[in-house]
Amino acid sequence: MAEVVKGPLDRIVEPKLISAADVSLADKYDLARQRVFVSGPQAIVRLLLMQRELDRRAGLKTAGFISGYPGSPLGGLDHNFLRAKSVLEPNDILFQPGLNEDLAATAIWGSQQAEMRGEGAFDGVFGLWYGKGPGVDRSGDVFRHVNLAGASKYGGVLALMGDDHTAESSTTAHQSEFNFINAMMPILSPAGVQEIIDYGLFWLCDEPLRRRMGRREAREGDRRIDRLDRGFDRPRKARHAG
């Protein structure tokens, strides 16, 4: 119904109908959605699903393997993996928490050897390790050796290091870049939730980069919620099936 606005010059204002978008909490892992609101940990889960889908489009049969050890600022990441189990497992993405950080990193290393002799069930396995600063410290030997060993042709590993710079919930303050520099591992430092996706997919873009990469996740990144745009249409390099 039109509304009459009283004033020096009376005028009729036609109402504007605003339709609410059809949204759901499940949208964050729906790859058909071009625009979703997610937290940092949710973006990491979505990243793995996107990598699996990109590989499928490239004609590759790949799987994913996730392992690590919980601890703030990545303390809630494992809970997000558990909640997304019904989405991850149908896409051949396995979440297996580690007994500790270095054993988890060693298991991720093994995932890169799954098809070394041609007997693997998949073309490759992309791996994700996660841990906080003290876990990065104790995993240095594994990081160094797995980085020198490299990754499989259609695999690759991303290591998430959670830095608690103010020691708010850690025994000591951490800045883990120095550990990865010492292990000669490339480092990615996303500035926002969108870059978690963009940089994460970059780690598998070309064969020379298909190896272990470290990515720093500061405490504030775990708490941030942001909008992701354009889905698979964002510019990126694609890895080739041949």
Contact in structure between 73 and 162 (CB atoms under 8 Å): yes
Is 115 a domain residue? yes
Is 15 a domain residue? no
For 60, 81, 136, 149, the CA distances from 239, given in Å and listed in that order, are: 10, 26, 29, 20
Range of the domain at 207: 38-233
Q: Predicted confidence band at 119 (pLDDT cuts at 50, 70, 90)? A: confident
Is 157 a domain residue? yes
Quick one: angle between helices 140-149 and 101-111, nearest 10?
Answer: 10
Among residues 128, 219, 98, which one has the least CA distance to residue 169?
219
Calculate the average pLDDT of the chain. Answer: 81
Q: What's the pLDDT at 20?
A: 58
Is 97 a domain residue? yes
Among residues 129, 124, 120, which one has the least CA distance to residue 151?
124
pTM for this structure? Answer: 0.81
Q: What's the pLDDT at 26?
A: 78
For the chain, the domain total comes to 1
Q: Which CATH number characterizes residue 105's domain?
A: 3.40.50.970
Is 217 a domain residue? yes
- Read off the pLDDT of residues 83-111 as tens digits, 9 standing for 90 and up: 999 999 999 999 999 999 999 999 999 99
Helix count (H) and strand count (E) of the chain? 9, 10
Q: Is the pLDDT of residue 192 over 70?
A: yes
Is 163 a domain residue? yes
Is 32 a domain residue? no
- Read off the pLDDT of residues 12-55 as tens digits, 9 standing for 90 and up: 555 555 555 677 777 899 998 888 889 989 999 999 999 999 99
User: Can you tell me the distance from the alpha carbon of 146 to that of 26, in angstroms, rounded to the nearest whole number?
Assistant: 36
User: Can you tell me the distance from the alpha carbon of 135 to that of 209, in angstroms, rounded to the nearest whole number?
Assistant: 24
Half-sphere exposure in the Cβ direction for 174 (13 Å, CA): 28
Is 104 a domain residue? yes
User: Can you tell me the distance from the alpha carbon of 131 to that of 159, in angstroms, rounded to the nearest whole number?
Assistant: 8
